[in-house]
Amino acid sequence: MQAILLSAMHWTGKVQPIAFSMGNLSVRWYGIVITAAMLIGLVISIKRCEKFKISSDDMLTLFLIAIPLAVVGARIGYVISRFEYYFVSPYDWQAFVDTIAIWDGGLTIMVGVPFGVLGGYIWAKAKKIKFIDVANVVLPTVLLSQALGRWGNFFNQELYGQIITNPSLQWFPMAVFIADEGAFFQATFFYEMVLNIIGFFVLSYFVKHINLRSIGIFGYVAWYYLVRGSLEFIRDDGTSSLDGAVNANIVYCYVAAALAIIAIITLLFLKKKKGQQIFYKKEIPLPDYVTEK
């Protein structure tokens, strides 16, 4: 009875995963939000890559290659981490559908990112475009898309943190009401969204002013995985738990972030040692191959 009353009082407990239905087809808010987030990222990336004289058609091709690969990778990561749930015996048609059912949610973005980067690399090689320069400006935009996409988790009522029993803290965005649990939990999806939006602006500034062609790439890895790994400590949505041991996701994230930070520091040190200018007050000059086009 108390859970019903709480749900009636707080709007976050009333969200529905289904946006609308057409016959037997149900369109989920998760898919709508993720698609919108990707389109916003595409528009910003097209604008940012204009200075490298890369056309909007080329950028669209990049996204059509990188995004599906990233989604496949993210789903593979999610399913493998829950192997005993998806690969049941007998493995029939319904089990297969459940395995690939990304429309129901369930993407491990930290695994999907390397697949997306691989897609970008393949595209750059095919187009004979400098992959490092494109990735340097696009990856911070991916951080923004991921931030906005977290609202898909909100509609699915997932990616939440520890339970909040103190009534004075049961308000959004501190907490969300999870209807299936009948209680308030930390709104970790929102925490991650805010931190990654901040990261987008920080990395955008670095890309524009710090003379390191890979600052956006390594900066993205450092920021995203540091945020994601840190939030794993308070995540409690039934899909992540310490269980008395170090969580593999946390180790993976922190190692990736540490390696990226070490790479940034090392490359900047080497540039400084060679006497090269590190910081540009206005904007870093374009590479010679761009200005010579």
More confident residue, 205 or 88: 205
Distance from C-alpha of 269 to C-alpha of 264, rounded to nearest angstrom = 8
Distance from C-alpha of 253 to C-alpha of 192, rounded to nearest angstrom = 14
Which run of H or of E encompasses 175? Answer: strand 175-178
Supply 64's token pair. Answer: 């059509």
More confident residue, 229 or 104: 229
Q: What is the pLDDT of residues 5-39, one digit of tens each?
A: 444 558 898 999 898 888 888 888 988 998 899 99
Mean pLDDT computed over 288-293: 65
Contact assessment for residue 18 and residue 29, using Cβ atoms and an 8 Å cutoff: yes
- pLDDT at residue number 246: 47
Q: Tell me the pLDDT band of 164, cut-offs 50, 70 and 90.
A: very high
Please name which of 131, 140, 180 lies closest in space to residue 160, comparing C-alpha atoms: 180
Q: Is 275 left (phi over 0), alpha (psi -120 to 50) or beta?
A: left
Distance from C-alpha of 229 to C-alpha of 91, rounded to nearest angstrom = 33
Q: What is the pLDDT of residues 169-206, one digit of tens each?
A: 999 999 999 988 889 999 999 999 999 999 999 999 99
- In the chain, the amino acid numbered 231 is L
Q: How many helices (H) and strands (E) does the chain have?
A: 11, 5
Q: What is the pLDDT of residues 197-231, one digit of tens each?
A: 999 999 999 999 999 989 999 999 999 999 999 99
- pLDDT at residue number 9: 58
User: Where along the chain do its domains lie?
Assistant: 2-291
More confident residue, 137 or 84: 137
In angstroms, the Cα distances linking 240 to 161, 171, 235, 281 are 10, 24, 6, 43
**Percent of residues, the chain, with pLDDT higher than 90:** 50
What are the phi and psi torsion angles at 175 (to 5°)? -145, 160
Q: Is the pLDDT of residue 287 over 90?
A: no
Q: Is the pLDDT of residue 114 over 80?
A: yes
pTM reported for the whole predicted model: 0.85
